[in-house]
């Protein structure tokens, strides 16, 4: 039975980097097709695996599992109980993960301004 305390995995040793450039390092962790969408969903209040799967982009479950694992290992996300006494787990952003909010807000603003037909769900 899960404890009532949040489960957090400390950031693991950094994987081999292609360069010390902070943009390249950011992209190594967050720059694939799905990871920032998982962070977006967490910022929108989603926390359960089934809620991420239900997002309109249709992330495959094997990819979602891997992205949540990687984000947890890197200290961006932590696992918590979905409710007291529940066997189900949920996820939430750590302080490090919450620091991505302005990044996503900037991406949203750029998309709204420059990409016709877009609309936002993430509030400022």
In a structure prediction context, what are the per-residue pLDDT tens digits for the chain, which is 124 residues long?
444 445 544 455 556 778 999 999 999 999 999 999 999 999 999 999 999 999 999 999 999 999 999 999 999 999 999 888 888 899 999 999 999 999 999 999 999 999 999 988 755 4
Read off the pTM. Answer: 0.82
The pLDDT score that the predictor gives to residue 42 is: 98
The pLDDT score that the predictor gives to residue 51 is: 97
The pLDDT score that the predictor gives to residue 14 is: 55
Cα 4 from Cα 1, distance rounded (Å): 9
The pLDDT score that the predictor gives to residue 123 is: 52
CATH fold of 22-114: Arc Repressor Mutant, subunit A (1.10.10)
Let me know: does 47 contact 68? Beta carbons within 8 Å: no
Terminal Cα-to-Cα distance of the chain (whole angstroms):
38
């Amino acid at each position: 039975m899960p404890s009532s305390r949040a489960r957090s995995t400390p950031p693991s040793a950094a994987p081999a980097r292609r360069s010390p450039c902070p943009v390249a390092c950011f992209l190594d962790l967050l720059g694939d097709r799905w990871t920032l969408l998982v962070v977006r969903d967490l910022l929108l209040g989603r926390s359960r695996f089934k809620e991420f799967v239900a997002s309109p982009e249709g992330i495959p479950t094997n990819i979602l599992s891997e992205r949540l694992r990687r984000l947890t290992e890197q200290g961006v996300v932590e696992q918590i109980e979905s409710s007291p006494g529940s066997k189900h787990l949920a996820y939430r952003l750590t302080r490090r993960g919450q620091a991505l909010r302005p990044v996503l807000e900037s991406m949203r603003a750029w998309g709204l301004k420059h990409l016709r037909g877009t609309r936002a769900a993430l509030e400022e």
